[in-house]
Amino acid sequence: MESGAGPANVYERMSKAAAQLTPLFPYDHAGSIVPCGNVLVGGPEPEYGHFFHWNAVNEVVVTYGSHESLLGSGQIMATQHLHGVNSFLRDEKNPEAFAVIVVTQHQSEEGDQAEALIARCKNCKAELVRHAYDATPFPLPGYDVERHGEPGDPVRQFATTLGSTEFAALRNTEQGRTCQACGHVNAPFPEASWGWARAVAQTGAVNSAYRALRQAATAQSEQESQS
């Protein structure tokens, strides 16, 4: 699982992806390069909101095609450790607006790795929520195996997706929406447009299915040996 992955086509992968920031290859271990795809589409329904992401490791953004986006086709951008995140579409309500981008990070090769997501009040810009989480990659000493799945699971929970799901849940509580500085009640964060919770749930279901099949195979083998 950690090596030997074949080529990936970002257009094909993202046409079927469950969430933004979907890893394009089946590895995220220490020292690996992890390209993650995003497909952002405008229209009357989509809404992406705005938040900030802090990552201890560097990230590079490549635009694989766009229209009516602040990111031009072919544009390459290295982000700061703390950077703002939104759809990068000029008008999210424009059904002709889109952007396919890949965000690539280089996993830490040694020591701990940390990330944080931050929301600010739309009215006064004061901090609403800061969710910091451990993103130390497998198999470094700080890696939390219980947080990212059970030993032997075929697919690890991707740390950024898992942390983003937790951030959205905190942001959408009454406390997470209400600014302590000015009292403004912010609109709910549109998590559905990012799809993180769905990706986490699907990863959990995939791993549960894998364990269920192994258990069924073991039970069948034991039954046959006793007959």
pLDDT at 1: 39
Q: Using 50, 70 and 90 to split pLDDT, how confident is the model at 6?
A: confident
- When the pLDDT of each residue in the chain is averaged and rounded to a whole number, the result is 94
pLDDT at 223: 83
- Stretch 133-149: mean pLDDT: 93
- Stretch 14-26: mean pLDDT: 95
Give CA–CA dist 132/106, Å, rounded: 19
Side-chain-side CA neighbours of residue 114 (13 Å)? 7
pLDDT in tens, 182-216: 999 999 999 999 999 999 999 999 999 999 999 99
pLDDT in tens, 152-190: 899 999 999 999 999 999 999 999 999 999 999 999 999
Distance of CA 215 to the CA centre of its chain: 30
Tokens of residue 154, six digits = 């075929």
Give CA–CA dist 74/223, Å, rounded: 58
Give CA–CA dist 31/68, Å, rounded: 35
The residue to which tokens 């009292």 are assigned: 183
- b or e along 150-171 (b: 16 or more beta carbons within 10 Å of the residue's beta carbon)? eeebebbbbbbbbbbbbbbbbb
Strand order in the sheet with 82-85: 82-85, 51-55, 114-120, 127-134
Tokens of residue 24, six digits = 């394009």
pTM of the model as a whole: 0.92
Burial of 22 (0-12, 13-18, 19+ CB in 10 A): buried
The residue to which tokens 């219980």 are assigned: 146
- Of 159, 141, 145, the closest CA to residue 105 belongs to 159
